[in-house]
Structures are given as structure tokens and as C-alpha cells.
């Protein structure tokens, strides 16, 4: 099993790729894609900011991967799992 530190670095890398793509200046007007991307990222951030410090790395990893997959059109996924 991967260490938590390695998993967090991979999540961070995916988040940076998402940020880079969003800031390229390309016009992203597909709201049917952008809404689930934002939803997944918001859920990941919401889980990480739990006031008790209890978060699920699996959940955060899944949501960031879902957002990345949607933005880069890699494969179809069920974004609301």
C-alpha cells in the first residue's frame, strides 16, 4: 500500500495539473462538465477542512481524480459516487 505522503503528493500533482489547465486561457464553456468538476473539488476541500481533523484520504483522492479525469476527458466516470 502506498504511503500517505506519496498519495498526498499525487493528489497535489493532479490539483496542480487542474489549476494549470484552468489558467491556460482556453475558454471552458461546457457547464455540464465544469459543474461536476467544481462539485468534486469542493467535496474534496470540504472533507479536508473538517474541524476535527478527520478526513478520508480515499475520499479526497477519489474526488480530485474524478475532477482531473473530467477536465482532461480521460474516461467516463460516475461523478456522484
Delimit the domains of the chain by residue range.
Answer: 1-13+52-80
In this prediction, residue 81 carries a pLDDT of 46
In this prediction, residue 11 carries a pLDDT of 94
Torsion of CA 24, 59, 50, 6, to 10 degrees: -70
Contacts of 40 (CB under 8 A, 6+ apart): 63, 64, 66, 67, 70, 79
Quote the mean pLDDT of the chain: 85
In this prediction, residue 10 carries a pLDDT of 94
In this prediction, residue 75 carries a pLDDT of 57
The overall longest dimension of the chain from CA atoms, in Å, is 39
Cα–Cα distance between 81 and 47 in angstroms, integer? 15
Residues of the chain with pLDDT > 90, as a percent, come to 52
| pLDDT tens profile 32-71 | 778 899 999 999 999 999 888 889 999 999 999 999 999 8
Amino acid at each position: 500500500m502506498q504511503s500517505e505522503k506519496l498519495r498526498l503528493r499525487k493528489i497535489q500533482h493532479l490539483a496542480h495539473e487542474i489549476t494549470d489547465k484552468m489558467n491556460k486561457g482556453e475558454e471552458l464553456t461546457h457547464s455540464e462538465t465544469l459543474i461536476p468538476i467544481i462539485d468534486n473539488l469542493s467535496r474534496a476541500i470540504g472533507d479536508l477542512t473538517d474541524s476535527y481533523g478527520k478526513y478520508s484520504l480515499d475520499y479526497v483522492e477519489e474526488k480530485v481524480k474524478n475532477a482531473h479525469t473530467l477536465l482532461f476527458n480521460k474516461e467516463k466516470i460516475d461523478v456522484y459516487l
